[in-house]
A and B are shown apart, each in its own frame.
Chain A
Amino acid sequence: MRNSYDVVIIGSGVGGLGAAARLVAAGHSVLVLEKLPLLGGRYASMQYKGFTLSTGAEALECGGALEEQFHVVGAPFDVQKPNPDIMYRVGDREFELPPGGGGLRRMLSFIGKPGEGDKVMNALKRALSWEEPAKGMTLKDWIGQYTDDPDIHGFFQSFSAAILTINANEATAWAFIRFIKVLGGKIVHAFATHGPSHLMDGLAQKVTEHGGEVLTRARVQRILVEDGAVRGVIFEKDGDQMEVTARAVISNAGPRGTVRLAGRENFDRAYLKVMDETLRPTPSSGVYIASDRPLMEHPGCLMPIGTRRVCWIVNPTTLCPDLAPRGKHLMLSFNAFSDSLSTQNLEEDIRQNIQDLREMFPDFDSHAEILMAVNFYGDWPIYHAWPGEDLPQKTPIENLYNVGDGVKVPGMIGLESAAETARLVAENLKARLARK
């Protein structure tokens, strides 16, 4: 331990460890402080009844900033890519969206009544090539201008709930179109062969080998601010209180967490106003299911359309059998909250999620056992900001940055959205540190 670093990073999620990897690779001294005993935030894994269960995300995105942050420090990126990537299901019909674009039109004509898909596609094409819809309109209302086909609406509901993690009557059409523009047709999903923690621990190991320091059970108590600029942090580890100085601090604790740690009095009021009025977390629930035979054939992700609540089903153990005990299989089934601003319906939403599974998989009752029904919301959400409502990565305090899913670039989603913030912040910071 030294008492001064170029950069202190609070939190070891994809954004925090990604920024650490990029900065140590450039020769900067970095200290990562993680309050929990495990690294990776909501992309970590732990053992439960012999299964390797994720603490949040199961599938990761390949080919972008996330994969790159492993390569910059030579960390292993041991993943399995399902082919096809995502299957869609309407009733008992399954459909594959081919990679590289062009598939959405075919998908909509496959699921909708003749001609209805084309109406939506023409509007979508205009929005992509000419003018995006104004931010005030929800995706459901926007689609509703062009069709009332229930299966097409079902598709956009599942898509919104799975990708943006809020419902189509909550997400803006603008956020959806930004997603299609920025990432549409470009995402390739994969599973960590031995679970998320295997990847994230490997990344932390390489950060350490490059001279970085990574501490767990190290809880930051205060971000120190002087004359409008960040000066360091005070943290607690093993009952001792320590103070370190830093030229910059990167927070992966969520924008609200960052403000709590640095003190509201140190922030510009315009920033606080935007944060207080618009920053809301996106929630979801997930059911983790064990079975003695694979419940679905497809070895990747499934997006069911027209369900009560289920929007995203993940089957990691066909490709990654190590994640389950021998002879067992694991499946994860996610649903958006029926009201993303309320926790009133948690039990009923999960009941409907399970009812959907029973109807989709005839073997469910005789071969499946539910391991857990979990939620993500509040200070431990899917995203710290609704897509399209993110805060910027830079805070009003000089040299204090946020990374992670509360400061996403519009259009970015998933772990890739957090990794991209790490890339942007590391690039900005490298230039600033070089100037002094």
Chain B
Amino acid sequence: MTIRILEKVCVGCGECAHSCPMEALSIWTRAKCDPDLCTDCLACIPYCPVDALTGEE
């Protein structure tokens, strides 16, 4: 499973960036995930207050 950011739902609040142990998520008005740093741990998903993160096969 890899992380998918629903761009239309994401408000860019930054909670997922805080939660990522690899610092793979950055925020510049919207969340962006660096696939080279992301380990697919999906730890960020529950931190999103607007449900903009999902796991994708």
Contact = CB atoms under 8 A, between A and B. Distances in A.
Interface of A: 36-38, 46-49, 53, 55-56, 217, 285, 288, 346-347, 350, 372-380
A47 B18 contact: yes
B34 to A, nearest CB: 14
B27 A373 contact: yes
Nearest to B46: A37
Contacts of B13: 55-56, 374-376, 380
Contact of B29 (A46, A373, A378, A379): A373
A380 B18 CA distance: 16
Contacts of A375: 11-13, 29
Contact of A53 (B14, B23, B46): B14
Interface string B10-35: 01111101110001001111000000
A218 to B, nearest CB: 11
B53 to A, nearest CB: 12
B6 to A, nearest CB: 13
B50 A378 contact: yes
Given A55-B18, A373-B29, A379 B49 contact: yes
Given A46-B18, A46-B19, A347-B29, A38 B11 contact: no
A36 B29 CA distance: 21
Nearest to A46: B18
A373 B11 contact: no
A372 B46 contact: no
Contacts of A346: 12, 29
Given A46-B19, A53-B18, A380 B46 contact: no
A253 to B, nearest CB: 10
Given A37-B46, A55-B13, A49 B29 contact: no
B28 A372 contact: yes
Given A46-B18, A372-B28, A38 B47 contact: yes
14 contacts: A36-B46, A37-B19, A37-B47, A49-B23, A55-B13, A217-B46, A346-B29, A350-B28, A350-B29, A372-B14, A372-B27, A374-B13, A374-B14, A380-B11
A46 B18 CA distance: 6
Contacts of A347: 29
A372 B17 contact: yes
Contacts of A56: 13
B37 to A, nearest CB: 13
Nearest to A47: B18
Interface in B38-57: 46-47, 49-50
A376 B11 contact: yes
A347 B19 CA distance: 24
A374 B23 CA distance: 16
B18 A374 contact: no
A56 B11 CA distance: 13
Contacts of B11: 375-380
A36 B49 contact: yes
A79 to B, nearest CB: 22
Contacts of A38: 47
Which of A53, A55, A288, A374 counts the most B-chain CB atoms under 10 A from its CB? Answer: A374
Contacts of B14: 48, 53, 55, 288, 372, 374
Contacts of B47: 36-38
Nearest to A288: B14
